[in-house]
Chains A and B, each alone.
Chain A
Amino acid sequence: MTESSHSLRTFVAYVEDRPGVLNRIASLFRRRNYNIVSLNVGRTHEAGISRMTFQMEADDDMARRIEANLYKMVHVLSVEDITNTQSVIRDLALIKVRVGPERRAEVLQILSVFRAHAVDLGTETLTVEITGKQEKIDGLVATLRPFGIVEMVQTGTVAMTRGNQGAAARAAHTEDASGIAAA
């Protein structure tokens, strides 16, 4: 076993949209001791097919085995490690900030710097929506924290590679290959 360094990896998988599929995948991760950093599942434009984006810390060998183990699952249609592919990677967060009318303008100005926007207004609070990479969200949270954060929710990361080809098409190309290059 090589002891090469772990880094954050992003994977995209297409899975059949059936009851229990997420449980199977989560069970695999737990059994193989893979630690998920973030996980997102949602429908796609094709009926019956869901798309997952997940991130975990792994080295090269481990990343390849994660892919291979997932690929063995009957309901997993394709898996791709897009870590080293140019991609759009996004998270969405909703943040409820404690802010009354007197300091609202100040907060709205901060939001414009982060290209976030207000989506709800209460007498004592303001709810912010932001999309972007994790670092950007972290930056906004840090800036808003002095005002007082009432609650916050964040989706898992979603990712899509840049360029013309879709993940399904790329996976289909490698259908017959084990994805393993000789050392």
Chain B
Amino acid sequence: MEDAAKKLETQPQTTPKTLTGSEILWDTLVNQGVEVVFGYPGGAIMPAYDAMIKYPVRHVLVRHEQGAAHMADGYARASGKVGVCIATSGPGATNLVTGLANAMLDSIPMVAITGQVASGLLGSDAFQETDITGVSLPITKHNIMVTRPEEICQALKEAFYIASSGRPGPVVVDITKDAQQKSCEYVYDPSPVRLPGYRPDYHPIDKDIARAIDLIHSAERPVLFCGHGVIQSNATQELLELVEKTQIPVACTLLGLGGFPATHKRALGMMGMHGEAWVNRAIQEADLLIAVGMRFDDRVTGNLKTYAPGAKKIHIELDPAEINKNVHVDLPLVGDARQILQQILPHVKSCKIQPWLDYIEDLKGETAVIEIQHLPDHGKLYAAHVIHDLWRYTDGKALVVTDVGQHQMWEAQYYKHDHPRKLVTSGGLGTMGFALPAAIGAKFACPDDDVWVIAGDGGFQMTAAELTTCAQEGIKVNVAIINNGYLGMVRQWQQFFYGGRYVATPMKSPDFVKLADAHGLLGLRVTERAQVKAAVERARAHEGSVVIDFRVEQEDAVYPMVPAGADLHDMIRRPQSHNPIYETGEDE
């Protein structure tokens, strides 16, 4: 890779040259602005790997193709650009599947390139033949199979365009081995892709914009929703301006966190199953919801029949298929969130909603007595405290990548993100094992960021092999393992809904400090709150990747919690007792 002399000049060429399909592949990627790809070689993709060395693209060798897909995903989320991963046919391609499904549900722009058996062998059950376009059909935005070198450039250009336009999503390009090997006349055609059946741009009509403005002005108890679409359409500035003008309070979805500054006085926090109590209550009592770039997932609405019964609903959303899918809305505005907010902004005036704002402040005050950040720890180490301290000692500026489980919800509650693309988390699919590889991808997107993984002991072990990737690539990520000795989120459900029977959730882990050491990385262990600051500072100062094993309380639960399918205002709250933390087991 370092051998720069081998790299081709990448000046735009105008006269056709004879190139192999593999060379065309890399030339097209370079022309699409790709700088890094995450992948793993194998028979059917070897010609492409062989040609890669001649092009200025950095390859990151993963330890499992799922990691490659999550890295491309993390790269895309942190940068806003298309992430690229590459794998061989058969098992290489099927190992990408979880990563594709994850990117699909969270609308992440990603291109996955897979090798395929030679075109003459297609359909013959050849060695390592898997119908990956068939397999990935329902979990990709689109996929394309290529059997001739002449088609490679066009297919990739279409893939990048489709992945990144409209509602983004993953696209698979499956290229047969002979298409990679054969040569053809080639010159890169920079003209834009034209697809007659693909028109992702929608614009609301002026009359509807005017109606939205009227609804906003006549509302007494409005709430704005900031979803992932705010971040993806780069509408954070417009949303902030709208709030500054109207003073309407903002609730975020999990993926919308960072789309509106968490420390702003109109920021309410996260909504939904583990949303703050005052947020969910405000939603239930609102008379207007203005949802921007979100899809009313069941994790944010709870029981649909009792959801925000008194509220008119404006839905600003890019994908017309999301309108009236879960929640019936009064005014859909279909189009790009940023453009729509720009259309609305000049016409809105400040709203007379002080009583409503005061009311929400009162709701917040009620919660303070059972808020864990205000409670003494009695010498114990609570995950919520670890995350709060992590926020403080990273000045709230880290790029945090979370895994899936209790720690993910505590991060969402207690790490206050003021900027977009500084929280990377798996929302729709809830994929354990996502964090470490996604963080590696995010680090490539933002090399100067202080990148932190917050993972559970369970999820971390699913993709822990990517620690070696950090070591081999010489990159620095800090890994905070919130080690509670359980598959904590499942244990919490067992505690609440399955009579406290902890079936298959107690989990043994390796010594994470030694594991870090075995990878040539720094490992630290924290068992008391007083040690958190020093550990975080030491990790930040250390040159290479660091793993911190936070041995937290084993049986704490995430509060509040709206049980699945329950009414949004029907929350399980942190028990109010002199010992603030819910104890299970012995005293039952």
Q: B197–A76 contact, CB under 8 A?
A: yes
- Is there a chain B Cβ closer than 8 Å to A148's Cβ? no
> Given contacts A1-B304, A182-B211, A183-B331, is CB(A72)–CB(B319) below 8 Å?
yes
Q: A27–B202 contact, CB under 8 A?
A: no
- Is there a chain A Cβ closer than 8 Å to B329's Cβ? yes
Interface residues of B in 93-134 (CB under 8 A from A): 133-134
Q: A176–B201 contact, CB under 8 A?
A: yes
- Is there a chain B Cβ closer than 8 Å to A123's Cβ? no
Interface residues on B, range: 35 or more
For A31, the chain B residues whose CB sits under 8 A away are: 138
Interface residues of B in 179-201 (CB under 8 A from A): 195-201
- Is there a chain B Cβ closer than 8 Å to A77's Cβ? yes
- Is there a chain B Cβ closer than 8 Å to A69's Cβ? yes
The listed residue with most B CB atoms (<10 A of its CB), out of A24, A75, A182, is: A182
Q: Determine how close the nearest CB of chain B comes to the CB of A27; give it in whole angstroms.
A: 5
For B137, the chain A residues whose CB sits under 8 A away are: 23-24, 27
Q: A176–B202 contact, CB under 8 A?
A: yes
Interface residues of A in 10-34 (CB under 8 A from B): 15-16, 20, 23-24, 27-28, 31
For A61, the chain B residues whose CB sits under 8 A away are: 324, 328
Chain A residue with minimal CB distance to B329? A183
Q: A68–B320 contact, CB under 8 A?
A: yes
Query: Contact string, B126-167, partner A, CB cutoff 8 A, digits 1/0?
Result: 000000011001100010000000000000001000100011
Interface residues of A in 67-99 (CB under 8 A from B): 68-69, 71-78
Q: B321–A72 contact, CB under 8 A?
A: yes
For A28, the chain B residues whose CB sits under 8 A away are: 138
For A65, the chain B residues whose CB sits under 8 A away are: 321, 323-325
Q: Determine how close the nearest CB of chain A comes to the CB of B331; give it in whole angstroms.
A: 5
Which residue of B162, B195, B202 is within 8 Å of A178 (Cβ)?
B202
Q: B324–A64 contact, CB under 8 A?
A: yes
- Is there a chain B Cβ closer than 8 Å to A179's Cβ? yes
Which residue of B166, B195, B321, B330 is within 8 Å of A183 (Cβ)?
B330
For B332, the chain A residues whose CB sits under 8 A away are: 178, 180, 182
For A178, the chain B residues whose CB sits under 8 A away are: 202, 204, 320, 323, 332, 334-335
Q: Determine how close the nearest CB of chain A comes to the CB of B211; give it in whole angstroms.
A: 7
Chain B residue with minimal CB distance to A79? B197
Q: Determine how close the nearest CB of chain A comes to the CB of B561; give it in whole angstroms.
A: 24
Q: A73–B197 contact, CB under 8 A?
A: yes
> Given contacts A65-B321, A177-B202, is CB(A27)–CB(B197) below 8 Å?
no
- Is there a chain A Cβ closer than 8 Å to B208's Cβ? yes
Query: Contact string, A46-79, partner B, CB cutoff 8 A, digits 1/0?
Result: 0000000000000001001100110111111110
- Is there a chain B Cβ closer than 8 Å to A2's Cβ? yes
Count of chain A to chain B residue pairs whose CB atoms are closer than 8 Å in the complex: 80
In whole angstroms, what is the CA distance A78 to B197 when docked?
A: 7
In whole angstroms, what is the CA distance A77 to B194 when docked?
A: 13
- Is there a chain A Cβ closer than 8 Å to B306's Cβ? no
> Given contacts A1-B304, A178-B202, is CB(A16)–CB(B328) below 8 Å?
no
Query: Contact string, B40-79, partner A, CB cutoff 8 A, digits 1/0?
Result: 0000000000000000000000000000000000000000
- Is there a chain B Cβ closer than 8 Å to A138's Cβ? no
In whole angstroms, what is the CA distance A151 to B304 when docked?
A: 49
For B320, the chain A residues whose CB sits under 8 A away are: 64, 68, 71, 178-180
Q: Determine how close the nearest CB of chain B comes to the CB of A175; give it in whole angstroms.
A: 6
For A182, the chain B residues whose CB sits under 8 A away are: 208, 211, 330-332
In whole angstroms, what is the CA distance A10 to B209 when docked?
A: 32
Q: A1–B324 contact, CB under 8 A?
A: yes
Chain B residue with minimal CB distance to A78? B197
In whole angstroms, what is the CA distance A23 to B324 when docked?
A: 27
Q: B199–A20 contact, CB under 8 A?
A: no
- Is there a chain A Cβ closer than 8 Å to B349's Cβ? no
For B325, the chain A residues whose CB sits under 8 A away are: 1, 65
- Is there a chain A Cβ closer than 8 Å to B326's Cβ? yes
Chain A residue with minimal CB distance to B317? A178
Q: B321–A176 contact, CB under 8 A?
A: no
For A76, the chain B residues whose CB sits under 8 A away are: 197
For B321, the chain A residues whose CB sits under 8 A away are: 65, 68-69, 72
Q: A180–B330 contact, CB under 8 A?
A: no
> Given contacts A1-B326, A179-B320, is CB(A74)–CB(B162) below 8 Å?
yes
Q: A74–B142 contact, CB under 8 A?
A: yes
Chain A residue with minimal CB distance to B137? A27
Interface residues of B in 295-349 (CB under 8 A from A): 304, 319-321, 323-332, 334-335
Which of A's residues lie within 8 Å of B, judged by CB? Answer: 1-2, 15-16, 20, 23-24, 27-28, 31, 61, 64-65, 68-69, 71-78, 175-180, 182-183
Show 23 residue pairs from A and B whose CB-CB distance is below 8 angstroms, ordered by the A residue. Answer: A1-B324, A1-B325, A1-B326, A1-B327, A2-B328, A16-B196, A16-B197, A28-B138, A68-B319, A68-B323, A72-B321, A73-B142, A74-B197, A74-B198, A77-B197, A176-B199, A176-B202, A177-B202, A178-B332, A180-B323, A180-B332, A180-B334, A183-B328
Which of B's residues lie within 8 Å of A, judged by CB? Answer: 133-134, 137-138, 142, 158, 162, 166-167, 195-205, 208, 211, 304, 319-321, 323-332, 334-335
Q: A31-B138, A65-B323, A72-B319 are in contact. List 11 more A-B contacts (CB 8 A).
A: A2-B328, A27-B138, A68-B323, A72-B167, A72-B200, A73-B142, A73-B197, A75-B197, A76-B197, A176-B202, A182-B211
